[in-house]
Structure 1
Amino acid sequence: MSDEVELKLTEDEAWVLFDFVRRYSETDRLSIEDQAEQRALWNLCCVFEKTLHQTEDIDYQEFLAQRRDRLRDES
């Protein structure tokens, strides 16, 4: 597995995101049920933008495809 990334969330964000992901795990449906979930996802996106760094001279789609391949369950 690749290097680890550490993210900082507020406890409120963590609980709201936990419930959002738990609900998805149980239903296989992604849906915003409360505006707080949307806010928590926007905040998480901002954290990712500040945390993840990529070089500008890469093919982003290929870069992301490689990450997805490494993360998938083995068949």
Structure 2
Amino acid sequence: MPAIQLHVSDMACGACAAAIETAIQATDPQAQVQADPASKQVTVITSCSAAAIQVAIATAGYHPELR
């Protein structure tokens, strides 16, 4: 599975990263997620579509942009 790369400009801290990781894993419990607030990058290896991952992050209150 290819990795999905997203930029989340409003991910400001570790708590934000944890919330994003939790939201993605609620959509796909098997997803491998790396959220880095310093670079504002989220990398996801998942069987879900990029759109589904974006919706999960948006539902958590953040604004993801596909890279």
Q: TM-score normalized by structure 2?
A: 0.32
The structure carrying a bigger helix percent of its residues is: 1
Structure showing greater Rg: 1
The alignment's TM-score, normalised by the length of structure 1, stands at: 0.29
